[in-house]
Homo-oligomer: A and B are copies of this chain.
């Protein structure tokens, strides 16, 4: 266990899109577990739009990552050394490991990953925070019911691709909004969406009226910006807008304009509600059970976009998210043979 521990640390709070100079790459000897500790070698790292807010220097729903600290990131890894009786070498675990190759852990900091249920990366996707966000956002925040018309933005992304499928499984009509014909084809052909709207082709509003002539009952929004404003003009009476994220404006260098059509909420007796998935932690098992069932029956497809690389590729891989380069959950897959 004398391997080097590669790490990505935050060097500066980005202005706009994160630049290479906003990060430091460091190496130090991997730590050794003391009594009650075990060492995890990280094999998969989750890349999430929310990371942009963590590195902004501002407190949002979570402490910001401090300058000089290892970047916060969820991951899955393998225990390679242990002085803990309940955690054996070879065990696969998930946790908030950070953008680094090795991390020392203690009890309560990891969750065992059942790779019999699904391959490890799926536990960062449909069975991870993305799946949980879709699940609680739809059912608890959005009060999803069979027969409703549901629109999902960022529909080819990690959360959106799961949200649309859950709505379909629940018996809803599902319209996805995504960028480009390839993503749209995937939504309809592979994930069973009823329709997909390519926002890059323009006139989202006209397409929405065509595909949801009676209005949108539930809008699961991962994007914000102009798409949110368009969907607000197409709400059904009593609609719920679930604010899951706003990837369109995370890198804005100026205050992004707000949804100027928000008064549609009044006309349509509608609501717009934000949520933070960590608030549902005590109910994760309930959601995991249902998500795993749907995966096992093949009703729910977990799309993972794996990028093979090393820790030093973390900053560049993160940008893929903001360029709309991923279909499904973006994951940095680290070597497993070292």
Q: Which of A224, A269, A271, A274 has the most CB of B within 10 A?
A: A274
The answer to whether A308 has its CB under 8 Å from any CB of chain B is no
Taking a contact as CB atoms under 8 Å apart, the answer to whether A274 and B270 are in contact is: yes
The answer to whether A75 has its CB under 8 Å from any CB of chain B is no
Contacting chain B: which of A99-107, A192-200, A260-268?
A260-268
Taking a contact as CB atoms under 8 Å apart, the answer to whether A274 and B269 are in contact is: yes
The answer to whether A292 has its CB under 8 Å from any CB of chain B is no
Chain copies in complex: 2
The answer to whether A324 has its CB under 8 Å from any CB of chain B is no
The answer to whether A258 has its CB under 8 Å from any CB of chain B is yes
The answer to whether A60 has its CB under 8 Å from any CB of chain B is yes
Q: How far is the CA of A128 from the CA of B266 in the complex (A)?
A: 20
Taking a contact as CB atoms under 8 Å apart, the answer to whether A265 and B272 are in contact is: yes
Q: Which residues of B contact A276 (CB under 8 A)?
A: 266-267, 269
Taking a contact as CB atoms under 8 Å apart, the answer to whether B269 and A275 are in contact is: yes
Taking a contact as CB atoms under 8 Å apart, the answer to whether B269 and A258 are in contact is: no
Task: Please report the total number of A residues contacting B with Cβ < 8 Å.
Answer: 32
Q: How far is the CA of A229 from the CA of B255 in the complex (A)?
A: 12
In the complex, which of the residues B243, B245, B255, B267 contacts A61, with contact meaning CB atoms closer than 8 Å? B267
Taking a contact as CB atoms under 8 Å apart, the answer to whether A272 and B272 are in contact is: yes
The answer to whether A170 has its CB under 8 Å from any CB of chain B is no
Taking a contact as CB atoms under 8 Å apart, the answer to whether B273 and A265 are in contact is: yes
The answer to whether A17 has its CB under 8 Å from any CB of chain B is no
Taking a contact as CB atoms under 8 Å apart, the answer to whether A274 and B279 are in contact is: no
Q: Which residues of B contact A260 (CB under 8 A)?
A: 255-258
Q: How far is the CA of A11 from the CA of B17 in the complex (A)?
A: 53
Nearest CB in chain B: distance from A259 CB, A:
4
CB within 8 Å of B: which A225-278 residues: 229, 243-246, 249, 255-276
In the complex, which of the residues B60, B245, B259, B266 contacts A262, with contact meaning CB atoms closer than 8 Å? B259
Q: Who on chain B is nearest to A266 by CB? A: B274
Q: How far is the CA of A255 from the CA of B249 in the complex (A)?
A: 20
Nearest CB in chain B: distance from A141 CB, A:
9
